[in-house]
Homo-oligomer: A and B are copies of this chain.
Amino acid sequence: MSKKSNGTLDQRRAKVLLIGGGGVGTIAALNLERGGLASVTVVLRSNYETVNEHGFNIESCDHGSLTGWRPTEVVDRVPIAGEGQWFEYIVCATKNVVDVPPSLTSIIAPAVTPSTVIVLVQNGLNIEKPFLSAFPSNMVLSGVSFMGSSEPQHGHIKHDFNDILVVGAFHNPSVDAVTEEHAARRFVELYSAGGRTKCTYSADVGWTRWRKLIYNACLNPICAITGLDTGRIRLADGVIDGLVRPAIDEIRAAARASGHELPDDITDTITKIPLDMYLPPSMLTDVRKNNFTEFENLLGEPLRAGQALGVPMPTLQVLYHLCQAIQWRNKEAKGMVKIPAKRTYTD
């Protein structure tokens, strides 16, 4: 069937604005375009010039090797909706550092119209709250991605682990749940059209997100703080039993208190990551590059959620404050906080 064979609604290409063409975002854009049901405008920042000139070079476990690939459109700023532009979906695939401005809500605001569906392909808890607050009549979808993909150089995408995406709606009290489910299922349809990825709908957004926190609130900060990757963290003295298991037990207890029962053997999933792959989790990569981490969404939010429900979380509490200190160190190094001058001694 030709993409433009007729004018019926389900066959026109959905206009998608995708923010953040890094490892995950670029593969999402590629997959949406390849499905033929969406045309994607990608907003780039640091890699804009490279990609605008040369396109993306992609090595993908799902899509093969592509040289000079381009989405429908590449732009260096968020378009203003209404100037001949209108987006059905805005997919946010950037890193989400809520404690460092500008906020993602302010970044996407110019493109948001009353009917725009916002899709957050990002990790952590309560990430929808600023969006529901800034755009109270819009639908906001949850995308939990399990793909492994990075951008070692500008415009070069290395996609190592299959694109698995779980989509559902964050509930907006001003929207009825059936409409939200329809929007989520339609996005699954767009994303699944290419046939190369595993995109599923799940109504239980909370469970899906707590499930992923086993990795992101526990292993991720422990690796970032110690400088050890997923293999070394298992080999190092005392770390699994002294840190990883206690942290996971605390996340499980907080999830349970929040109404989400995670499976008994969930702890073992961490220790089943093949040892000899030596993967750096995202926060470790960030810390190594002196970049900001997503510690507030990945660790701070579940900690606050659990503590508010009376769950003791002593391990995550310490990890949280250490991540907070490391974040501050990077803010100071980047000149975002000023400190008193060093005292000089004439002694």
A residues engaging B (CB < 8 A)? 61, 222, 225-228, 231-233, 235-239, 242-243, 274-278, 314-315, 317-322, 324-329, 332, 337, 339-343, 347
Give CA–CA (A319, B222) in the complex, Å: 11
Q: What residue in chain B is nearest A344 (Cβ atoms)? A: B276
Give CA–CA (A232, B228) in the complex, Å: 24
Give CA–CA (A320, B246) in the complex, Å: 14
Interface pair B277/A325, CB less than 8 Å apart:
no
Distance of A335 from chain B, by nearest CB (Å): 14
A-B pairs with beta carbons under 8 Å apart, 28 shown: A61-B347, A226-B325, A228-B325, A228-B328, A231-B339, A231-B340, A232-B329, A232-B339, A233-B325, A235-B337, A236-B324, A236-B325, A238-B321, A238-B325, A239-B324, A239-B325, A242-B317, A242-B320, A242-B321, A243-B321, A243-B322, A274-B343, A275-B340, A276-B341, A276-B343, A277-B342, A277-B343, A318-B319
The answer to whether residues A238 and B324 also contact, given A276-B343, A343-B274 and a CB cut-off of 8 A, is yes
Q: What residue in chain B is nearest A244 (Cβ atoms)? A: B321
Taking CB atoms, residues of chain B closer than 8 Å to A318 are 243, 314-315, 318-319
Contact of A237 among B222, B242, B277, B324 (CB under 8 A): B324
Give CA–CA (A325, B321) in the complex, Å: 18
Taking CB atoms, residues of chain B closer than 8 Å to A242 are 317, 320-321, 324
Distance of A20 from chain B, by nearest CB (Å): 26
Interface pair B340/A239, CB less than 8 Å apart:
no
Classify the secondary structure of A's interface with B: helix
Give CA–CA (A325, B325) in the complex, Å: 19
Give CA–CA (A278, B342) in the complex, Å: 7
Contact of A326 among B227, B314, B324 (CB under 8 A): B227
Give CA–CA (A274, B345) in the complex, Å: 13
Interface pair A228/B276, CB less than 8 Å apart:
no
Distance of A61 from chain B, by nearest CB (Å): 7
Taking CB atoms, residues of chain B closer than 8 Å to A231 are 339-340, 342
Give CA–CA (A324, B236) in the complex, Å: 8
Distance of A283 from chain B, by nearest CB (Å): 14
Q: What residue in chain B is nearest A323 (Cβ atoms)? A: B226
Excluding A227-B326, A275-B340, 6 further A-B contacts by CB distance (< 8 Å) are A61-B347, A235-B332, A239-B321, A242-B324, A243-B325, A315-B318
Taking CB atoms, residues of chain B closer than 8 Å to A317 are 242
Interface pair B339/A226, CB less than 8 Å apart:
no
Taking CB atoms, residues of chain B closer than 8 Å to A239 are 321, 324-325, 328
Contact of A329 among B61, B227, B275, B276 (CB under 8 A): B227
Give CA–CA (A342, B225) in the complex, Å: 22
Q: What residue in chain B is nearest A236 (Cβ atoms)? A: B328
Interface pair A322/B322, CB less than 8 Å apart:
yes
Q: What residue in chain B is nearest A320 (Cβ atoms)? A: B242
Interface pair A237/B325, CB less than 8 Å apart:
yes
Contact of A339 among B235, B238, B343 (CB under 8 A): B235
Interface pair A276/B322, CB less than 8 Å apart:
no
Give CA–CA (A277, B339) in the complex, Å: 12
Distance of A218 from chain B, by nearest CB (Å): 12
